[in-house]
Amino acid sequence: MKRLAVLALMFAGLMLLGASAQPGRRVALVIGNGTYENAGTLANPVNDAADIAAKLREVGFEVVEGHDLGKRDLERKIGDFSDALQGADTGLFFYAGHGLQVDGRNFIVPVDAQLDVPVKLRLEAVPIDEVLDIMEQQARTSLVFLDACRNNPFARSLSAKATTRSATALPGLAQFDTTRGSFIAFSTAPGAVAMDGTGRNSPFAEALLRHIDEPGQSINDMMIAVRRDVLAATREFQRPYEQGSLLERFEFVPAGGPAAAQKPVASAPQQNTQVAALERSVGDDAAIERMLTDGYLSPQPGKIAEAARQIYADKVTLLSAPMDIEAIVKAKSDWFAQFKSWSLTLDPGSLKVTPRGENRADAVFSMGYDYEPIGGGARIAGKSRVSLGLVLSDGEWRIVSETLAAP
């Protein structure tokens, strides 16, 4: 019964897979800081973070996301990330915005930072290595992507006011001292400056979005493709760089699995058009809640396969494992076949729907479950936090990605 209880928490009645057939949980922290109170505005970091977060969700990551964060909010997001990493196999950190290095140590610059004198650095900025330490302590594999080498007024100001007793802020970022199982990618070479870009995304983020979901591609091969694209886009000005000590091959999308759905990133719609599209696709969230209560949470005996076909897309990423609809139908049918009865409920007030572009949204909610096994025995009951990636197809919301975790 203990084994069934663990499976119930992980899958909440959705699927039953062998442990060797699926990757472990993967959790990402994605931050984009662009609107600085004391340094003007960067055009693309928030777009970069939003698009990277959406892509990571599509390939099976649980994502903690934040935009334009001051220091306190940034530290809270890092704390949320640390909590979410418990029990995860892979941690990933993506940051877009201003960053700087002082005495070989790299810092994230929050949007409310006042770095007018060097002594304020450790009070106003957040060391990146602290995020890396959190990942290395809790996850077997740690991945970092830093698009934080933009032309930085904070570094120039601090360097101008430095004394012989204060550290000098340098452009770009420095290399890290890494432990085993880590991979760190910089948008440009150490100490160099990266471009913010003239379109919706920076050259580095745009290249990542283009290549991250290619099936069977290792992270090392992905970075070769990213570097080639960035060099071409910047006329050899910007050269992405990586350092790492991975102990095993890492693929964002496993070999043989379907590629994640492609998302256009080449151009950005006007703000009014984008808002109108989100309003059309998401509305008042009633359709999504109805899909959850009438379909996802209400599978009926003898109609499990029919229900799965109605609410899942043809290609889905479940707990980091790419699956087609037939595999989902079989896994779900096999799971429910173990139980005499069950109850799945949406905790009142827990549903949060976030638009992710035209005809796409994320839904996060707390779900209660209660299973009665065939042949008697103790009931399996508890709660799970469910995160769904959704797409609107033929007027109906369907699931394209799904992760579950302890509440």
Please report the pLDDT score of residue 209 as a whole number: 96
Reduced 3-state DSSP string for 217-250 = CEHHHHHHHHHHHHHHHCCCCCCCEEEECCCCCC
Confidence of residue 228 (pLDDT cuts 50, 70, 90): very high
**The two three-digit tokens of residue 255, written as one number:** 């070999």
Contacts of 300 (CB under 8 A, 6+ apart): 307
Judging by beta carbons within 10 Å of its beta carbon (0-12, 13-18, 19+), is residue 327 exposed, middle or buried?
middle
- Residue of higher predicted confidence among 381 and 210: 210
Rg (CA), the chain: 22
DSSP label of 293? I
- Per residue in 56-110, pLDDT (tens digit) is 999 999 999 999 999 999 999 999 999 999 889 999 999 999 888 777 778 889 9
- Per residue in 250-287, pLDDT (tens digit) is 999 987 654 433 333 333 333 343 433 333 344 447 88
Nearest in space to 127 (alpha carbons), one of 95, 153, 150 = 95
The pTM of the full predicted model, rounded to 2 decimals, is: 0.59
The 3-state DSSP class for residue 73 equals helix
Judging by beta carbons within 10 Å of its beta carbon (0-12, 13-18, 19+), is residue 374 exposed, middle or buried?
exposed
- Per residue in 320-331, pLDDT (tens digit) is 677 889 988 988
Residue type, 315: K
> Please, what's the b/e burial string for 111-126 (b: 16 or more CB within 10 A of its CB; e: otherwise)?
bbbebeebeebeebbb
The length of the chain is 407
Q: How far apart are CA 273 and CA 171, in angstroms?
A: 37
Please report the pLDDT score of residue 264 as a whole number: 37
